[in-house]
Structure formats: C-alpha cells, structure tokens
C-alpha cells in the first residue's frame, strides 16, 4: 500500500520537497506518494486534518506554520519542544508527533557539505521566527564562540535569548546595534528572500572569510547573498543543502532509512535543475 506524505505551507509552489522525497523513495525502494499542499493562512489545522482523514502518514511544514504546528502536535521530540517550532509531523493513529529537523539539516550542510566548522565561530542569526527557532539549539550544541540573534522586532530576539541562554553563549541585538561588528558565519533565517527583500543589515559586517548562508533556496543568488558578495564575503551558500539534509532527517523519522544526499544536492544546484 502506498503511504502518503506532503509538504504544507503558504506559499508552496516553489517547494522542491516533492522532488527530493520521491528521489529518496526511489533510492531506498520505498512505496510513497508525496505532494505539496497550499494551506490558507487561517486554515492550517483544517488542511492538516483533511490530509490525515484521507490517510496521510506524515507532513513537512514550512513558512509560516512552524509555530502553529507545534501547538497542533499531540507529542513533541525534545528538539521540537525546546525550539517551540515543528517542521515535521508523523501521524500514528490519533497521535501527531511533531519534530524539528531544520537544525540538524543546517548543521550537517555547514559542517559536512561545506566543510566549515561551527565550533569557536562567531555566528549571527537573522530572524526570530519558526525558521530561526529550529536551528538555535543545534548551533549552540556545536559550541560556537557566540551566537547573536538579530531581528527587526528586538523583543522577539530577546525572548529567544532568554529561552536558549542555558544552552550556550547567546545574545540578542537590534540590527543597527550590529554596526562595527564582524562575524564568521551570518545566517539569514528571515523570509525576506521570498519577496526579494533584504534585512536592514549595517555595512561592514562581512569579511573575506565570512560564510554568508541564506536558509532560503533559489536557482539564482538571493538578494542577501548578492549583498554579502558586494560586502566582500567569498563563501556563499543558499539553503539547498539544508533543505535536502533536513528532508533526509524527516525521511528517516518516517521510514527508518537514511537516504544518501550528495547526488541530489548536486543535481538541485545545477542551473538546469
């Protein structure tokens, strides 16, 4: 019997998750169907319920529903509970298990695929929404020199600082308070790239050795990555690798098999992909 899975979000037409998971299924000889579901901004729960009633086995959750998904889950993994955000559902009878594979995907992409150590590095994380929440703990577990959270609403960044302070050296700033500072790794966890916008970063924050990482993925460099390059950064990465790695983590949760990721990352990054 074919098991059904889906990714749910708004917008969703850009999602590569169906393509990725079907490659995983072929690679591991798993009988699944995977689709993309557009949920109304006020209709996340009802869309999830309909999919479950139709026999769905699990879901990936993307912008802007990761925190709402945390509330809907009837059980949470430790990393999802600490993050307060969920990007993966596993349905088991009446139970909805919520997990968050974003952080594991990000760290694996940086440390393994890009071969850049996070340990002892100064990291700037831009954004304080569900995408940022999911990666803070895994980043702190790599023992960076420090992690600064910046957000256009400083209060939200301060709340995250308080929430994660026990796990490592974390601080919170307004964007303009960052003037004159440099970082080893700057991660854009905002949704600005979806609308070709740029967070209000002061100039002078990038060095030649800074890794500029945009968690959004695109066939062309995002505005953030173009800005980083103009500011002198020579190490640029979009979220393609993170997308595939977090998907592999979700696939493992659902199917108990960990797929190979390198070939699909390379294929997705080709211009014709």
Catalytic residues: 66
Secondary structure of residue 27 in the 3-state scheme: helix
Looking up tokens 């640029």 gives 236
Give the DSSP letter of residue 240: H
Provide the total of helices (H) and of strands (E) in the chain, helices listed first: 10, 12
Radius of gyration, alpha carbons of the chain: 18
Cα gap 75→241, rounded to integer Å: 28
Is residue 162 within 8 Å of residue 170, measured between CB atoms?
no
Cα gap 115→181, rounded to integer Å: 24
Q: How many other CB atoms sit within 10 Å of the CB of residue 204?
A: 13
What Cα–Cα distance (Å) separates residue 250 from each residue in 7, 42, 254, 265? Answer: 11, 25, 6, 16
Q: Hey, which residues does 236 pair with through a beta bridge?
A: 212
């Amino acid at each position: 019997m074919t098991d059904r899975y889906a990714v749910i979000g708004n917008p969703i037409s850009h999602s590569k998750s169906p393509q990725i998971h079907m490659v995983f299924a072929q690679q591991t000889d798993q009988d699944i169907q995977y689709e993309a579901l557009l949920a109304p901004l006020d209709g996340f729960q009802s869309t999830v319920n309909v999919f479950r009633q139709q026999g769905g086995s699990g879901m990936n959750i993307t912008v802007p529903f990761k925190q709402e998904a945390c509330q809907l889950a009837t059980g949470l993994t430790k990393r999802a509970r600490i993050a307060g955000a969920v990007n993966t559902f596993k349905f088991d009878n009446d139970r909805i298990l919520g997990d968050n594979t974003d952080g594991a995907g990000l760290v694996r992409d940086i440390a393994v695929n890009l071969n850049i150590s996070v340990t002892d590095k100064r990291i700037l994380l831009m954004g304080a929404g569900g995408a940022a929440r999911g990666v803070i703990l895994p980043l702190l577990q790599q023992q960076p020199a420090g992690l600064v959270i910046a957000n256009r609403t400083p209060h939200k960044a301060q709340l995250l600082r308080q929430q994660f302070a026990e796990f490592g050296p974390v601080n919170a700033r307004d964007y303009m308070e960052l003037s004159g500072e440099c970082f080893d790794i700057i991660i854009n966890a905002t949704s600005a790239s979806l609308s070709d916008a740029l967070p209000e970063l002061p100039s002078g924050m990038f060095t030649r050795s800074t890794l500029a990482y945009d968690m959004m993925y695109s066939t062309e460099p995002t505005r953030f990555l173009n800005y980083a390059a103009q500011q002198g950064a020579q190490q640029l990465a979009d979220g393609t690798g993170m997308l595939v790695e977090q998907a592999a983590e979700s696939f493992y949760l659902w199917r108990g098999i960990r797929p190979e990721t390198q070939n699909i990352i390379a294929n997705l990054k080709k211009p014709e992909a």
